[in-house]
Amino acid sequence: MILVTGGAGFIGSHLLLSQGEEPMIVVDDLSQGQRSSVVGANLIQATLLDAVRLRSIFETYPISAVFHLAARTEAGESVKDPFAFWQTNIVGTINLLQEMSRANISYVIFSSTAAVYGNPDQLPITEEHPLRPESPYGDTKLAAERLIHSWAHAYDGKFVILRYFNAAGADPEGRVGERHRPETHLIPKCLDVALGRESALIINGDDYDTRDGTCIRDFVHVLDLANAHSMALEYIRNGGSSTILNLGSERGYSVLEVVKEVERVTGRAIPYSFAPRREGDVESLFASSDRAKSLLGWNAQWKELNDILRTAWNWHLRLYS
């Protein structure tokens, strides 16, 4: 049985859909996730900050591996409220690893982030790039990575750390998709404007040293990220060494390029205006995923931004129309 922390969230809910026969249980406090997004698994509403409750879960269920996705994830918010991020992302991870060690569970797949790199020295970014987070969010994810290294060394554990670039898209069958409270992610915010739920998109920063002055990001379909988890677990169960892997599409799109592509997909105008840069944002991020290809045989199946956006638009229409 696999324990999925944060399994009611955007990536976690798609992970549940992509797994095979092995049973899963979800631990999620539902502060960001949705109960209705948990498909094909039992949901335990609990926080990783409750060590006593967490221990009872490990004592009750025959858990053999953990997918650890639960975290606070908004870089801008982390600048305003760093303590909440350190508590959730670090104390929660400590509690989880302690209970894994008590239960003699040796495998963890951890959801990390490209935010650990900060402003890159070169593009595409490889796993050997210096680690210089620009926000408390990135700091906490890097600290959690180091905790996992320490746990593995002390307790003979194995891990794969997956450094996501920008997750996007939705289940093509419309069963689950992306929604946040409040919504802060670029693509669903654009889609909100397309549906008239918002009057205009606010773009933070038009003075970056990029081709159009807006930030550049690498968008990878959420199902491609989900599939990487099962591949990573199979890899370490079959004797593979602990490792860190980037997961991205290996292409960078500016914010304005995303806006124009959303207009093409939806057939609707996306009015926008500019606001000052948001503290904690970096200029350009896109990945080299060569190591994931080599070790896991992973390749992004959703290669075109247009196709990724169509799945997101279909979900948004279903959710709000």
* Residue 115 CA: distances (Å) to CA of 24, 135, 165, 203, 292: 28, 8, 8, 19, 18
Find out whether 164 and 185 touch, Cβ atoms under 8 Å: no
264-270 long-range contacts (CB < 8 A, ≥24 apart) are 264/306, 265/306, 265/309, 265/310, 265/313, 266/191, 266/194, 266/313, 268/194, 270/190, 270/193, 270/194, 270/201
CA dist 28 and 7 (Å) reads 6
Going by C-alpha positions, the residue among 145, 156, 132 that lies closest to residue 245 is 145
In eight-state DSSP terms, residue 284 is B
CB atoms within 10 A of CB 250: 19
Find out whether 219 and 166 touch, Cβ atoms under 8 Å: yes
CA dist 239 and 241 (Å) reads 6
Burial 227-238 (b: 16+ CB within 10 A, else e): bbbbbbbebbee
* Residue 141 CA: distances (Å) to CA of 6, 163, 194, 225, 253: 15, 10, 33, 17, 24
137 carries an active-site annotation = yes
Catalytic residue among 61, 107, 117, 137: 137
- Identity of the residue numbered 44: I
Phi and psi (nearest 5°) for 63? -80, 135
In eight-state DSSP terms, residue 240 is P
**Which is it for strands 216-217 and 253-254: parallel, antiparallel or unpaired?**
antiparallel
* Residues with active-site annotation: 137
